[in-house]
Amino acid sequence: MKLLITDTCHLTAEERAYLEGLGLEVIEAPDEAPYDGDPAEIDAIACKFLFSYAPIERFVNLKYVQLFMAGWDHVPMDYIRSHGIEFHNARGVYSIPIAEFGIAGVLALYKKLRLFDSRQRARIWEREPILPELTGRHVLVVGAGSIGGEFAKRLRAFDCRITGLTRHVAPKEYFDDVRSLDDLDDVLPDADIVIMCLPGNEDTRHIIDGRRFAMMKPDAIFVNVARGVLADEAALVAALENGRLGGAVLDVFETEPLPEDNPLWAFENVIVLPHTSFGAQYNVRRSFEVMNRDLAGSALLKS
């Protein structure tokens, strides 16, 4: 059984030995390059972007795909489903760093760290006596999955009231309330912070549009760490220009890299990040742990 694993995982000798102990012959290859071996020999693939460089149709005996990413909008899922290929994503791998980054951004806006940074550079000693507090805020997490759950877990420490929206309503740990995504319009006007954690697809494209930005509190903070298409970017810019939004923390955009002439760069109350909130110290370790968990229950090793 041959497992093609790309260099995004950076296997240690111990990790390679573990996989070989499961009966897998491990083949390592670049992630963002065509595969120069024989695709017909490969039974399983663990990668990020390999299928953008090596068409999946060439791997005629493929039975298993482990994606080292949470989102799979760049993966040929129609082919995977139609050919009965077992598929797993990296659910949970990046949730912690994304939540940390998002909360750090909100705190940076509330505590005016950009202002204090500019004063430090100018050696100006000047206080701001009335800074906003995160404690007690109503946080709306749109998408109460793995990433949303990590936000909620951390925000509990700030005594926030946390509402989660999801397609499948059920009580969830760390959330004070879990409601249907269909209730977005009902809860949006009361939220102090709106955090987007949904996947990007046709159903969620521009789910936050001009009408919904207008429904938010004028001092609300909008956080998007999921997919740029979730927000109508022109409407977001208009809300910021008109003072209809307190600020934004943005790690994803409709066009990436964000063009130099995009007005979002210039707002003092907007934190622009280069789609980097997922990057973290322990991602590789977590990726390997997730792959091991998925392999343990896989039909691949039972065949």
Provide the 8-state DSSP code for 54.
S
Please, are residues 66 and 85 in contact by the beta-carbon 8 Å criterion? no
CA distances for 243 relative to 221, 236, 238, angstroms: 12, 11, 9
Q: Which residues are catalytic?
A: 227, 256, 275
In this structure, what token pair is assigned to residue 188? 């949006």
At 90, list the tokens: 């990296």
DSSP SS3 for 5: strand
CA distance 163 to 228: 22
How far CA 187 is from CA of 139, 172, 181, 192, 237, in Å, comes to 10, 18, 10, 11, 22
Rounded (5°) CA angle 197-201-206:
75
Taking each continuous run of H as one helix and of E as one strand, the counts in the chain are 9, 12
Instruction: Determine contact, residues 144/169, Cβ cutoff 8 Å.
Output: no
Q: List the structure tokens of 227.
A: 């997919």
Q: How far is it, in rounded angstroms, from Cα 209 to Cα 223?
A: 14
Cα 17 from Cα 30, distance rounded (Å): 20
- Structure-block tokens of residue 105: 């951004």
| Spatial separation of the C-alpha atoms in residues 271 and 64, rounded to whole Å | 39
